Amino acid sequence: MYKHKFADWRAKTEFNAPDAKLSTNLQKNVVEEKQQQKVKENRATVIKKPKPTMFTGRYLLQLLKIVASSATTTSSTSSSPTITTTTNNSNSNGDDNNDDHDDDNNNNDDNNNSSSSSSITELIKILTMKRKNHTKEICESFAATRALFDFDHHHHLNLRRGNKNVVAIIPGDGCRPYTSAALMLQVPKTWTVFSVDPAMGKKVSKLYHPRLHCIGSTLESLSFNEPPLNTMLMNANAVVILAVHSHAPLQTFWSSLQSLQKISHIPKIAVSIPCCGDHGWIQTKDLQYQYVDGEIKSQGSNTVLVYSVGI
């Protein structure tokens, strides 16, 4: 009886124990491999999918600073206001540095001022006019411009230095050029903006800004061969698209834009913030960045996509 139990004990010690030890080692190896794989995946996606940010109201503050700057300039003897933008505490690419790349365009001199005081006042009226979901729309528009400016900074395109002609096309801008106004208040006079939306209707006749062209038609009806768009494209150093919760056919437009021979050699950038369905997504390998901007007060519709070609 004693020998039998002792034999069983030795069998467990000599054979089962090593098996258990081997099993433990295998589990450790599997865990380590999974951790290493996760690190590799994180390294591969850290540029395209940085950590989501929290809502702090930075875009509302940005608009407030623009309004305050305009009011101060209007009351002074200067005829051209200084437009300032806020410092990006965390850029869209997930970098932890706090480089103030808006210094490239803060305190613009007379050569880089966006426009006259009266034109800026008209743009500010668009953004401050009471409307439904006002805060949400401000955040969406300024989030799109921020994504564009971050991309410009990180790729050293220098589009806001005032020495490059940029054509910006804003599809689905609404009955008033909302995102266009947010963009115009932050760029130099070398930028020309085309706001496209059939909802504008008769409001197209109103001149909000000398370099802001409002087109009351669908995006697919927009012709690249008609003035002033064709003239601007001929002299452009870059083309930009800002699609904020737009239902316009962005896929088709992006493809047709790339097929234009006269702008085949210049950078083309598309910033899209989709809202529902497939609208705002482009089936292409041109996607450079994809991240969630927590500053956009639209749960489930705060993903920012940045596409580019020719960079």
Q: What pTM was computed for the model?
A: 0.71
Q: Crossing angle of helices 58-75/117-128, nearest 10°?
A: 140
Domains identified in the chain, total number: 1
Provide the pLDDT for residue 96: 40
- Identify whether 3 is part of a domain: no
- Identify whether 136 is part of a domain: yes
Helix, strand, coil percentages in the chain from 3-state DSSP, rounded to 5: 45, 15, 40
- Identify whether 38 is part of a domain: no
Provide the pLDDT for residue 163: 92
- Identify whether 11 is part of a domain: no
Q: Which pair of structure tokens corresponds to residue 58?
A: 């930075």
Domain CATH for 97: 3.40.50
Buried b (16+ CB within 10 A) or exposed e, 187-224: bbbbbbbbbbbeebeeeeeeebbebbbbbbeebeebee
Q: Over the chain (311 residues), what is each successive 10-residue block's mean pLDDT?
A: 51 49 62 63 47 74 84 57 40 42 46 58 83 84 95 95 95 89 93 91 68 90 90 94 89 89 91 81 88 84 91 84
Domain enclosing residue 168, as ranges: 58-309
How far apart CA 112 and CA 253 sit, in angstroms, is 30
